[in-house]
Homo-oligomer: A and B are copies of this chain.
Amino acid sequence: MTRFVDKITFFDRRASPMAEAEDVARDGLLIHYGSPAGASPPGNVAGGSVTLGQLFKRVGDAHSGGGGGEEGGEVGSVSRLRHVIEVDPFEEYQLGSPPPPPFVLAFTDLTYSVKRRERMSLLRRNRLALDPPETAAERGRTKTLLNSISGEAREGEIFAVLGASGSGKSTLIDALANRIARESLQGSVTLNGEKLEGRLLKVISAYVMQDDLLYPMLTVEETLMFSAEFRLPRSLSASKKKSRVQALIDQLGLRAAAKTIIGDEIHRGVSGGERRRVSIGIDIIHDPILLFLDEPTSGLDSTSAFMVVKVLQRIAHSGSIVIMSVHQPSYRILRLLDRLLILSRGQTVYSGAPDGLHSFFADFGHSIPDGENPTEFALDLIRELEGTPAGATALVQFNKSRAAAQPAASKPAALSLKDAISVSISRGKLVSGATEGATSSSSSVQKHANPFWIEMGVLTKRSWTNTKRMPELFAIRLAAILLTGFILATIFWRLDNSPKGVQERLGFFAIAMSTMFYSCADALPVFLQERSIFMRETAYNAYRRSSYVLSNAIVGFPPLVLLSVAFALTTYFAVGLAGGMQGFVFFVLIVLAAFWSGSGFVTFLSGVVTHILLGYTVVVALLAYFLLFSGFFINRDRIHDYWLWFHYMSLVKYPYEAVMQNEFDDPHKCFVRGVQMFDNTPLAALPEVAKLTVLRSMGQSLGVNLTGSTCITTGTGILQQQSITQLTKWDCLWITVAWGFLFRFLFYISLLLGSRNKRR
């Protein structure tokens, strides 16, 4: 292992950064080993009968007692001692000290079947004629994704699951990571011989998904720091959290990229491999004992992929079990893997060390040619066999008989699960906040690391940091609002008080209030992106869903205020709306309320409809129906009874009625005066004098004096004509605001229901 690759500089200009990184990493991780306030040495613990809770507690003390490694001077001689003691745990085993018992994750006869949904028969028929074996299997009502899989993954090792797509790799990882509902999965998974309880597993493990879901505008360091604030216990001081993040940055080889933003399609950020390592870092911030990864190298070029697996090896050596799926490892990556499990259609084809592949396939009668990548060879052979009617059965059988011939050489773990965990903690592992304050019964393990208000603060800060670095997003929304405002202002410029002017006011209000809602629809992509991050983070209880919903609303609010004021300023005075300064303030408030309920509505829909184009279509269509039923196109008293419920559900109704009342609630203001009442009748064509004559004779028959300046219709009259009589303008305002809250509550519900992440 002295090739140049091992010295790759991770884009750093320092002499030997990786060596340095490893030093720092140990400083960060194993900081408490041998420190004055530290835990008892492993031997003692193994002999004692302490509870898991007590052990966690002891470690908590150790955490608060030890000095931060990176804080320079304060560490003194302790630091020196540490440097002597702290060697790679693995090397340590071989150095003669009592061998600490490794964790062993064993799984036996895992079997998992799903019912197949019927496909469109037309398409199936197409394929049928050509591919009998596959479609025959398809027609069966259930499909076996895992078929009696057994194996063993050990601390300090990388356990890799290989196979073609559809072979069951991801399913097996999910089964081990307890992401499949217990009742659907047959077989057992044990850690050091004990069944793993779901809550405890969540605490001591991490699951890294394939997608890198990260806030694009945060730096690498910030991203990890926020993760630390969510997942590390509150009792850990800020400086400790910082040093943990720094140690992690070095462990991940991200030192040079620490201050660079993650980036997205528009903003240049870190490379794909760096991004993947940040994703891993987020999930291992609490230094878990079990690390599951679903194809961590997919989509990376070979060098980046190699560095990711190298990081994983380092994590394994620090005392973890690393279990990953990988499609087809390169030669170099293969050399980093300790155990392989090769699957074909849910069955084990090979299980053992990479070195064993040559003799295995030679015995099977297909020697691997020199220079050939053994896994490439294996997967090609499997693929070829799968193409035959018998499938890979021969190979599966051969593997079974071979396994039976060689009785398992695995020695059981030396320590019980509890003791092993306590030893591990005492060695600096598992800095998870979730362990804090736990008692011996793991069911009482706290679900979240931090109380509600801290989560709120951190989430708000993170979201705000990310948002403020993308000012262009707000700028585009503002520009859209200003443009629409400008067009509305110029087309409805200084409306007069006449029947036509009144009609145009109605149109203006209907359009203006719909604009708020439609403008919110454009934020749908942003919501959807955030939603994915949220889903991943709440999957391991990084924070409460409620904190997220609230902080989401808080961060989103200030921009809405600016947009409201901008829209009101562009239109209110230009159109010549009534009510003076008071009217203007109410106009701003109702526009803001419309934005608030609109963004709530779109946020809620983003929680329900996760496909972006479908979501957009649904939002646009629903808003169109809201507008249709708002009372503008058809007055409330003319809507048939069977549609009245939708009229009251129309979000646009309330802001529309509010601005209408704001405009027309002056009982003294006149909108139709004298002969203007004939404007929309055939009499409009008569000369002014004739109209006045008609008006006078009308007055005579009614017994009142009607002249050219008599007010025929006041604002109140218009409201009555439009059937806007049930609610005051303040009622409408509060109802609009309440809609906003309701939708955010529904969003919360949708997250609760939607973020289940176990397979059935």
Contacts and interface: CB of A to CB of B under 8 A. Distances in A.
Interface in A501-553: 504, 507-508, 510-511, 518, 522, 525
Q: Which of A127, A259, A686 has the most CB of B within 10 A?
A: A127
A257 interface: yes
Contacts of A160: none
A147 interface: no
A395 to B, nearest CB: 13
- Specify how many copies of this chain sit in the oligomer: 2
A381 B4 contact: yes
A239 interface: no
Contacts of A257: 130
A493 interface: yes
A756 to B, nearest CB: 23
Contact of A634 (B256, B383, B491, B693): B491
Nearest to A255: B130
Contacts of A267: 120, 123
Q: Which of A164, A625, A634, A701 has the most CB of B within 10 A?
A: A701
Given A381-B4, A635-B500, A129 B331 contact: no
A130 B697 contact: no
A204 B617 CA distance: 46
A71 interface: no
A681 B713 contact: yes
Contact of A129 (B259, B488, B492): B259
Contacts of A7: 384
A442 interface: no
A9 B682 contact: no
Contacts of A379: 302-303
Contacts of A381: 4
A303 B369 CA distance: 16
A525 B611 CA distance: 13
A638 B303 contact: no
Nearest to A384: B8
A681 B690 contact: no
A201 B490 CA distance: 56
Given A302-B379, A383-B303, A613-B616, A629 B327 contact: no
A613 B7 CA distance: 45
A662 B557 CA distance: 48
A628 B702 contact: no
A199 to B, nearest CB: 36
A123 B261 contact: yes
A686 B13 CA distance: 91
Interface in A671-721: 672, 677, 680-683, 686, 690, 693-694, 696-698, 700-702, 712-713, 717, 721
A130 B261 CA distance: 12
B721 A702 contact: no
A259 B629 contact: no
Interface in A461-511: 480, 487-488, 490-493, 500, 504, 507-508, 510-511
A700 B690 CA distance: 12
A366 interface: yes
Contacts of A259: 126, 129-130
B302 A376 contact: yes
Contacts of A380: 4-5, 8, 302-303, 306
Interface stretch (A82-90, A561-569, A639-647): A639-647
Contacts of A696: 701
22 contacts: A5-B380, A5-B384, A8-B383, A123-B261, A127-B268, A302-B328, A302-B379, A303-B383, A306-B380, A332-B376, A491-B643, A500-B638, A504-B633, A504-B638, A508-B633, A511-B633, A525-B613, A620-B620, A681-B713, A690-B702, A694-B701, A697-B701
Q: Which 5 A-B pairs have the closest CB atoms?
A: A507-B633, A697-B701, A697-B697, A302-B328, A693-B701
Interface of A: 3-5, 7-9, 11, 13, 119-120, 123, 126-127, 129-131, 164-165, 219, 256-257, 259-261, 267-268, 301-303, 306, 327-328, 330-332, 366, 369, 371-373, 376, 379-381, 383-384, 387-389, 480, 487-488, 490-493, 500, 504, 507-508, 510-511, 518, 522, 525, 612-613, 616-617, 620-621, 624-625, 628-629, 632-635, 638-640, 642-643, 672, 677, 680-683, 686, 690, 693-694, 696-698, 700-702, 712-713, 717, 721
